[in-house]
Chain A
Amino acid sequence: MSSLLLIAAFSALSTAEASERGKNAVHLVYGSYASNDAAFEFYSPNPSIGAAGIRGERALRGPVSLVSTYTRRTVSSEYYDDLILADQMPEREEAALVAAFTGQQFTVGPKLQLDLGKSAFSTYVVGQGLAFVGTSRLDDAPDEDDNLNQLKARSWAPGFIAAGGLEYSPRVGPIQLSTFVELGYNWTAQMGFEDDSVRESGTNAPADMGDLAFRGFYMQMGLGVRF
């Protein structure tokens, strides 16, 4: 019901007195970055990470603007299985392991917006460079604050997003409500995770835990204002 009211409000706005569309924008966003990496299954059974955040847009020249987004999300899984090979394992009531992954995405890139006549709708394409910061946290006694085995490993990888979208923004007033949805493809290089407490054979280098990458279908939608 509230969605219908929102649509009705936007429709009413679109018939209001026309003015220039705001050149800058801020949106609260929610979207999804695909992983399709088997290593991500350690944290989530879903092959993507849904992330919420905020996006800013500043006009550059004509239909071209600069878009920058920050999103963040933590997913975690609890393991109650016996994760140790042993002749006898004690009965377990608490989780044997909590594995959490926090993905933070910083994106920035140009956006080319094409108005559809004088309507409130416009389409656009956007290409953004991406910095994906991943933090892996593992804890095998989550109920103990001073557990020895609380491991944290962080890594980052560059990448990109290529997407096309549809925006609805009634050209009314100096501050205009705006919503959009965009679909595309995200790609990151491999993020290599290391454990500082274990060294690799014959070196002082931290032990390699493995790689994780986010590659695949990308989607984001937002609600905000143009001004």
Chain B
Amino acid sequence: MKTHIPSPSAPVLESTMLRRALFALPLFAAACDPYARPADFYGTADKPLWDSNVVTVGDAVYARLPAGERLVRIQSDGTLSTVDLAGASPDRMVATPDGEALLVFASWQACEDADNTIESPDECPEDDLVTRRELARVVGDKRLDAFNVPAHLNALTFTEDGRTAVAYLDYTEQMAIEVDGLIDLGEVMFLPLDGASPARSVSVGFSPEKILFSTDSAGLNDKAVIFSRSEVVVVELGTLDVVVTYPLVLDADQVVDPADAVLTEDGRVALVTIQGSSDLYELDLEKHSIDLEELDDSPVAMVNATLPEFDDGDDLPVTLIAYARKAEVEVLDQNALELREPLLLEEPVSDILATPDAAVMYNRNSDSVKDVYHINLGSYAITEYRVANPIDELRLSPEQAYAVATLRPEIASNNALDAYQDSRWGLAVIDLLNQEETSLVLEAEPIGLALVERDEATYALVLMQGLEHLIQVNLAEPTFFSEVELAAPPLGIGQLASGQFYVTHDAALGLVSFLDPSTGDLTAAGGFATPGLFHESTLLNR
């Protein structure tokens, strides 16, 4: 390699030009485009950027951002805003029944060390680092107020009138329960949302799981009926005092867990079934007494319904009780608390949907049962439909003229075409008025189903995994369908108070589409998962 070195005596070679050229080099460097190349690294994320299990309040959708520890509000007009939780991170959220507010279980870290210079969790001694929690009430994008709720109470239920929320422990296996000093696993907390009285905890036995609310003559909820292990507790909502406790066993060594419960239409009696038992407990909430009804088998579903114009033209409130293994449904007269003539079916059912004058019954638990029964509760007339594959989910259209079921694959039968259908996901459309059933084969697994009525027609909107379009099926002619192109593969579908539908999409930075069912117009709102993306954990000393 030779290097040419000019001699010192060489003429001052084009020095001005050369110097200018040398100083111009940065301009050439700046002009390079560094993006036209593959990525340098494979990244891994500790937390997801957003949670597609969104919650709707009014005409907005709220989404949690676990990585950014923020909450965002996505309005159907595409407006995106963060929600101020006063520095706390949203853990779970529930919309209030009136659709006016969002209740957010929120948490933050604090350091109990007296050193004021400590700013980050890393600087705080391990023993002094604590997690504090609250239940914040959010309206719009503002935190209105908050309740101090024990950390282990992770679920909420509401009275029908929306005035009171009840926080309780919804325990799932392997769930970590945080104990700060001590906790009462039988605790529920009543949160008056109207601010009429302070929040208050009540101990209601072990592992309370189901809470029902009775209604007074004015239509306001007056009592909470709380079902826990081996006992049922009734709490007066006005005073939050325990009115009565019903033991479900006579021997303290015995343990029973309620499986299901309903209140009779007049709120006078609570009907309770027990896991693995054929006993039906009838708890009289006025006389504070218990009756036992011996059923034929262990019940699997219990639903209130009405037998229209049954006795002398009066409607008769009843409770329909289905068995897991018996092909019949009991009809319990709520006035007399006696069993009437049962509905006899060909196969057992696991689910019941009641309408004002009928009931639709089907089985989601068994692969061999494919019957759907439509029962006229006035005449006991039963119409039987048989769908092609086992039922995964079934819904009634808003006017209850159609039942639409998603069908799951099953072990293929011998016949070639049957085997084709058996091995695939499907959609069954049942015209309950014209008594026709059509079972269709879907391209992929359905991940969302919504039913909508517009222009005097009823449509099923079906989202399928991995497909960037939404199937729109006219239920009057289910063989014909149209497709609505989506911006990205869908994850779920839901409905806003306005009747619009929202679709969440597989897009890491966040994407929600809003579908106007009256026009079929689709608008997208995306990129909402960035707030707080680069944040570092800080301590919050409120």
Contact = CB atoms under 8 A, between A and B. Distances in A.
Interface of A: 2, 5, 9, 13, 16-17, 19, 24, 26, 28, 38-39, 42-45, 52-54, 56, 70, 72-91, 95-100, 102, 137-138, 140-141, 148-149, 151, 153, 172-175, 177, 193, 195, 197-202, 207-212, 225, 227
Contact of A227 (B15, B39, B141, B506): B15
B6 A195 contact: no
B542 interface: no
A209 B534 contact: yes
B29 A72 contact: yes
Contacts of A13: 5
B201 interface: no
A85 B534 contact: no
Interface in B390-420: none
A24 B15 CA distance: 12
B43 A78 contact: yes
A141 B507 contact: yes
B34 A72 contact: yes
Q: 8 closest pairs, A vs B, by CB?
A: A210-B534, A77-B43, A39-B534, A201-B84, A74-B34, A83-B508, A140-B508, A85-B51
A54 B536 contact: no
B491 A17 contact: no
B142 A210 contact: no
A39 B46 CA distance: 12
A55 to B, nearest CB: 9
Given A39-B536, A90-B465, A211-B535, 8 more contacts: A77-B41, A84-B507, A96-B508, A97-B49, A149-B507, A197-B80, A200-B82, A201-B141
Interface in B334-350: none
Contact of B52 (A79, A85, A141, A149): A85
A53 B29 contact: yes
Contact of B8 (A53, A149, A174, A210): A174
Given A75-B41, A99-B43, A199 B80 contact: yes
A87 B447 CA distance: 9
A79 B508 contact: yes
A212 B536 CA distance: 10
16 contacts: A44-B40, A74-B34, A77-B40, A85-B52, A86-B506, A87-B53, A88-B491, A91-B466, A98-B39, A148-B524, A148-B526, A151-B527, A193-B534, A195-B530, A199-B80, A201-B83
B480 interface: no
B511 interface: yes
Nearest to B70: A207
A54 B531 contact: no
B182 interface: no
B488 interface: yes
A200 B535 contact: no
Contact of A26 (B3, B8, B25): B25
A202 B142 contact: yes
Given A83-B48, A141-B507, A173-B6, A90 B532 contact: no
Contact of A198 (B35, B524, B527, B536): B527
Contact of A148 (B40, B43, B487): B487
B6 A138 contact: no
A225 B22 CA distance: 9
B72 interface: yes
B39 A78 contact: yes
B492 interface: yes
B282 to A, nearest CB: 38
Contacts of A26: 22-23, 25
A84 B533 contact: no
B10 interface: yes
Contact of A140 (B40, B48, B507): B507
Contact of B26 (A56, A85, A138, A201): A56
B536 A56 contact: no
B510 interface: yes
A200 B82 CA distance: 5
A202 to B, nearest CB: 6
B114 interface: no
Output the residue of A75, A84, A227 with the most chain B CB within 10 A.
Answer: A84
Output the residue of A44, A72, A210 with the most chain B CB within 10 A.
Answer: A210
Given A13-B5, A201-B84, A148 B527 contact: yes
Contact of B50 (A17, A85, A227): A85
Nearest to A39: B534
Nearest to A25: B22
A19 B8 contact: yes
Contact of B30 (A43, A72, A173): A72
B528 interface: yes
Given A96-B508, A225-B22, A44 B41 contact: yes
A200 B81 contact: yes
A86 B63 CA distance: 12
B303 to A, nearest CB: 26
B18 interface: yes
A74 B466 CA distance: 32
Nearest to A86: B52
Contacts of A44: 40-41
Contact of B530 (A19, A53, A91, A207): A207
Contact of B19 (A24, A137, A212): A24
A141 B526 CA distance: 12
A100 B49 contact: no
Nearest to A106: B26
A98 B527 CA distance: 14
A41 B134 CA distance: 31
A195 B82 CA distance: 11
Given A86-B491, A201-B81, A76 B23 contact: no
A172 B29 contact: no
Nearest to A46: B41
A174 B6 contact: yes
A44 B536 CA distance: 16
B255 interface: no
A175 B6 contact: yes
B536 A38 contact: yes
Contacts of B53: 85-87
